[in-house]
Amino acid sequence: MSPWFRYSLIRLGLFGATFSLLMVLGIIWWASALFATAISFAVSYIFFYKLRTQVAADFAERVSKSKDTDEDSAIEDGEIDSEGNR
């Protein structure tokens, strides 16, 4: 299972469980959503460092692969940049 998918499921699960608990406790829906968002962010930031690092590494790898350009594109980008300096 990809780190993106696991991390997303964990975050959504934390949000859903927290939101449901707050709704059962009788807190209005918009406050429950706000608190659930903050709590799920804090818990995932503190306790899921390793998984978050894996997601970031996967993202960086995808970005570096997408930056592979051909020579013509590099020349065109250089010409566009030089036109801006005139």
What tens digit of pLDDT does each residue of 17-37 get? 999 999 999 999 999 999 999
List of the chain residues with pLDDT < 70: 66-74, 76-86
Q: What is the model's pLDDT at position 42? A: 95
Task: Outline where the chain has alpha helix (H).
Answer: 3-24, 29-47, 49-66, 71-84
Q: Is the overall model pTM greater than 0.75, yes or no?
A: no
Is 36 within 8 Å of 18 (Cβ atoms)?
A: yes
Q: What is the model's pLDDT at position 8? A: 92
Q: What is the model's pLDDT at position 84? A: 60
Q: How far apart are CA 73 and CA 86, in angstroms?
A: 21
Is 14 within 8 Å of 43 (Cβ atoms)?
A: yes
Helix (H, G, I), strand (E, B) or coil at 85: coil
